[in-house]
Amino acid sequence: MRNKRILYYLFLAFGWTVILFYLSSMSYAEQDIRPYLRMLVAEEHIAAVFAGVEIPYVNNKMSVDNMGGYQFVEFLFRKGAHLFFYSVLGYLLVRYFASSLGRKYWRVFAFSLSILLVIAMLDEFLQFHHPDRSGQWADVWLDGMGGLKGIITGFLSTYVKKNRKEGKQKSADSSM
């Protein structure tokens, strides 16, 4: 059973990484959501909702005033995608290493974070060399923050659940 779990999480983490690299290999135009936004909402509504919101990013202030409503929402969507995809990857890596290493918490954490950061750097490196993309160190940082959230979630779901099961077993054993 343990070997199946190890292979299961290894397969999921590897598959998720393949999806990440596939999405990174797509051009900016292939991922552009602005045409869909134009069909769904007027730019003035976006400007009204996000008026006064400024986000510092790579020595710039990203805002509706600087970018326009559709571009700003796409910026938020893309950066949110970094957080989401790397959060899932961090979770899957913790589950894989926890399945294979057990309760060696620091090793699980160190291996998960190290692998995640290597994948994030490689992802941005590939984007840097793509003619229609740009790799940014700020995105590696963002990937790391998303990954750290996933790692924490993975720890909580893995080790808290194990401790709860053991606590119930101990209380059941002591009541007999």
Confidence of residue 18 (pLDDT cuts 50, 70, 90): very high
What's the pLDDT at 175?
53
What does the block give as tokens for 129? Answer: 């060399």
Residues 15, 19, 24, 30, Cα dihedral to 10°:
170
pLDDT digits (tens, 9 = 90+) for 58-108: 889 999 999 999 999 999 999 999 999 999 999 999 999 999 998 899 999
Task: Count the Cβ atoms, other than its own, within 10 Å of residue 2.
Answer: 9
Structural domain count of the chain:
1
Task: Count the Cβ atoms, other than its own, within 10 Å of residue 65.
Answer: 15
What's the pLDDT at 138?
92
Cβ neighbours for 54, distance < 8 A, ≥ 6 positions apart = 61, 62, 63
Name the residue range of residue 135's domain: 2-174
Look at the pTM and tell me if it is higher than 0.85.
yes
pLDDT digits (tens, 9 = 90+) for 151-173: 999 999 987 766 666 666 665 55
3-state secondary structure of 62: strand
The end-to-end CA distance of the chain, in Å, is 29
- Alpha helices per DSSP H over the chain: 2-25, 28-31, 34-40, 43-49, 64-67, 69-101, 105-128, 137-155, 161-174
pLDDT digits (tens, 9 = 90+) for 115-161: 999 999 999 999 998 888 888 899 999 999 999 999 999 999 987 76
DSSP state at residue 63: E
